[in-house]
A and B are shown apart, each in its own frame.
Chain A
Amino acid sequence: MTATDSSQLEPDLHHSETGSAQPASADGQSTAASDATSDSGQPAATSPASSAGAADSGQQTALPVSGAALRASVARAVPEDRAVPEETERPRATRVAEGAWLGGVCTGLARHLGWPLIAVRVAFVALATFQFIGVIAYGALWLLLPPESTVKAPGLESASRAGMRDESRPKRRVDWGMLLALIALGVGLLWIMQNTGLGISSQLFWPVAFACAGAALVWRQADSERQKRWRDEAGGKAWLAPFVARGGWPSLVRVIVGLGLVGAAFGIVLAQRGEISHLPEVMAMTMLALAGVAIVLAPWLHRSRTALNQARAERVRADARADMAAHLHDSVLQTLAMIQRQADDPRAVQQLARRQERELRNWLYGDELHEATLKAALTAAAAEVEDERGVPVELVTVGDCDTSEAIQALVRAAREAMVNAAKHSGADKIDVYAEVDDESVEVFVRDRGKGFDVETVAEDRLGVKGSIIDRMARHGGSATIRSAPGDGTEVRLELKR
């Protein structure tokens, strides 16, 4: 099935590619299409040398054949009637970076066709042993399938999903280096098959496979994290990078193993043939194939793998970004709107800003608090008081412990002390400090407000007496209040563990 699919695909795709060279591009991708036109249609405008150089080093200058056209043709290549009815929309045929073994072609196709991934892979491998059709098809698809849709800003993405903005398709770059590489690969392989007679390639398959693996190993170098530095050292020539750049011993090992594999390929051929007289022919064939594959493939391989890695990283970042967008929308945006509405009330604005700051800070840098600990309970209590009373509460904790009934009482008492401070002291800030050690739990609630005379006031103030002192006493703890007019107040709560 895959064979028919891909064989249907190929001519169609090539057709569409040449088709894009025609000026009239109906799909609105006029910029991309005309770019492609100017490069392929008017070679006289730019000298071949300069465009070749651009392809070597080029990130931006690679030919921007209209991705829309390519993707449309890929979609067309798959007959519509094969669509599974219950699926509302079948995913586009793309190269999927996630979980890809090579180029992500199989994964993408499997997703697109709704087949099991393993079936697609087996099909490709089976086809590969049959006159390399699988390899060629895979290479062509790798070249022509667009990578999975690139990540957009989460806000834009959600807007696009909701149909709130014009969906402009990402440009896709194809460069002639890739095309040449594939053509060379295909021609070379065909040539080998023809030369070995009757197209029976099994004798040469393994040597060639070895040789290719060796070459790939060498060029794989160009794809490590240090590739940028290497590329710089190689004077911007990606294909020189593995030889020129300093990669340390791992790269040396890779080069040696790679060359060893290439050597093994020769060895196998010679062993199979058992004739030294064939050596020059075999050498020539393999050398040509290898030279074609290696040199022409290198920059393309390099680039495509770079893109692949980027796509992979993007994917990981995308989820985080989407979360962040949702969060910002739910929190900051709402707060800003409320602040504007209450701009006349400085206290409300301050309160909103403070709450938002706390929330955002906690989200960005905060510890993840377990539900049932003293610290979590105090943090929640402090936040509540802050929101209700509009007075900032600074909480510092040292150590932590699980909550018990007594700890909960302690937290409630502390909360009451905070509320009192916010209500009566007039202080602009409340400091709360909690310390847990092996023997006891202590909480201090302190303000620098106007204070009061403990002797006269404490007794008849129900809040202090009932909800702080008595509550602590009931749970085997103690509460002491230090205060003097003009000196602020400090409530100390202690509980033996």
Chain B
Amino acid sequence: MTETTDHPSPQRAAAERGPYRVVIVDDHAMFRTGVRAEIGRSVAVVGEAADAEHAITVILQTQPDVVLLDVHLPGGGGVEVIRKVHEKNPDQKFLALSVSDAAEDVIGVIRAGARGYVTKSISGTELIDAIRRVAEGDAVFSPRLAGFVLDAFSGSIDLATVDEDLDRLSQREREVLRLIARGYAYKEVAKELFISIKTVETHVSSVLRKLQLSNRHQLTRWATDRRLV
């Protein structure tokens, strides 16, 4: 995302609001070390964990701004961590991180309550930017996640059965998502649609909420079925 051009020095951006406190949860020590080295200067890594049980304890203890959470994790996966932590602290923010691009992983962890999803190949600056975004309460949508959501909410589902607003994307939300899927950063989306970045963020957060709250079971089934096609 060229969003980083907004903040040529992420250190400065972080310094303005104080460094965000981050917990890294991943079962690969090598990956934790790597991420720590990459983002450690811009954010304060206050804890690490390698499995779900340990992660829950660490997160509840340290109450970080953002948890970088691996989707595949011994002890129930990232979804389990989010669920257990949200029982005690519903405001805890999670940014999911995975090598997997599988639809059910992505949709599953978002529906469990993560505020964003990025793949592990993300660059350090992009990751810092994503952390900042999540910490500020916004959602982080990668092009792939946007594509999944568009697919999941696409017209293939009979509109007559869609009675709730939650089960439908507004025209504007769809436009925003399409641009994100095309590789546009939030800033570029705003420029393209002649709206403010804040409005883009509002739309994305609204999509995230729909994704999480829509109890339309087609959504999960869509993610599962997709593997079989």
A361–B100 CA distance with the chains assembled, in angstroms: 7
- Select which of B102, B143, B156 is within 8 A of A431 by beta carbon: B143
- Select which of B101, B147, B184 is within 8 A of A365 by beta carbon: B101
Given A365-B105, A448-B2, A398-B183 contact (CB < 8 Å): no
- Measured between beta carbons, the chain B residues less than 8 angstroms from A444 are 182-183
B183 and A367: CB pair below 8 A? Answer: no
Task: Judge if B151 is at the interface, Cβ distance under 8 Å.
Answer: yes
A433 and B155: CB pair below 8 A? Answer: no
A396 and B146: CB pair below 8 A? Answer: yes
B147 and A433: CB pair below 8 A? Answer: yes
**Which secondary structure characterizes the binding site on chain A?**
mixed
Closest residue of chain B to A364, judged by CB? B100
B178 and A367: CB pair below 8 A? Answer: no
A397–B229 CA distance with the chains assembled, in angstroms: 14
Task: Judge if A319 is at the interface, Cβ distance under 8 Å.
Answer: no
A16–B169 CA distance with the chains assembled, in angstroms: 76
Task: Judge if B226 is at the interface, Cβ distance under 8 Å.
Answer: yes
Q: Least Cβ distance of A134 to chain B in Å?
A: 47
A490–B183 CA distance with the chains assembled, in angstroms: 10
How many contacts between A and B, using CB within 8 angstroms? 59
Q: Least Cβ distance of B214 to chain A in Å?
A: 18
Count residues on chain A whose CB falls below 8 Å from chain B CBs: 22
- Measured between beta carbons, the chain A residues less than 8 angstroms from B183 are 394, 429, 431, 433, 444, 446, 448
Task: Judge if B193 is at the interface, Cβ distance under 8 Å.
Answer: no
- Measured between beta carbons, the chain A residues less than 8 angstroms from B182 are 396, 431, 433, 444, 446, 490
Mind listing 9 A-B residue pairs with CB under 8 Å? A361-B99, A367-B226, A368-B229, A396-B182, A399-B156, A433-B182, A435-B178, A437-B154, A437-B155
- Measured between beta carbons, the chain B residues less than 8 angstroms from A448 are 2, 183
Q: Least Cβ distance of A403 to chain B in Å?
A: 16
A364–B2 CA distance with the chains assembled, in angstroms: 30
Q: Least Cβ distance of B162 to chain A in Å?
A: 17
A367 and B143: CB pair below 8 A? Answer: no
Task: Judge if B111 is at the interface, Cβ distance under 8 Å.
Answer: no
Given A394-B183, A396-B181, A367-B147 contact (CB < 8 Å): no
- Measured between beta carbons, the chain B residues less than 8 angstroms from A361 are 99-101
Task: Judge if A87 is at the interface, Cβ distance under 8 Å.
Answer: no
Task: Judge if A81 is at the interface, Cβ distance under 8 Å.
Answer: no
B100 and A396: CB pair below 8 A? Answer: no
B178 and A394: CB pair below 8 A? Answer: no
A394 and B144: CB pair below 8 A? Answer: yes
A396 and B155: CB pair below 8 A? Answer: no
- Measured between beta carbons, the chain A residues less than 8 angstroms from B144 are 394, 396
- Measured between beta carbons, the chain A residues less than 8 angstroms from B181 are 396, 398, 433, 435
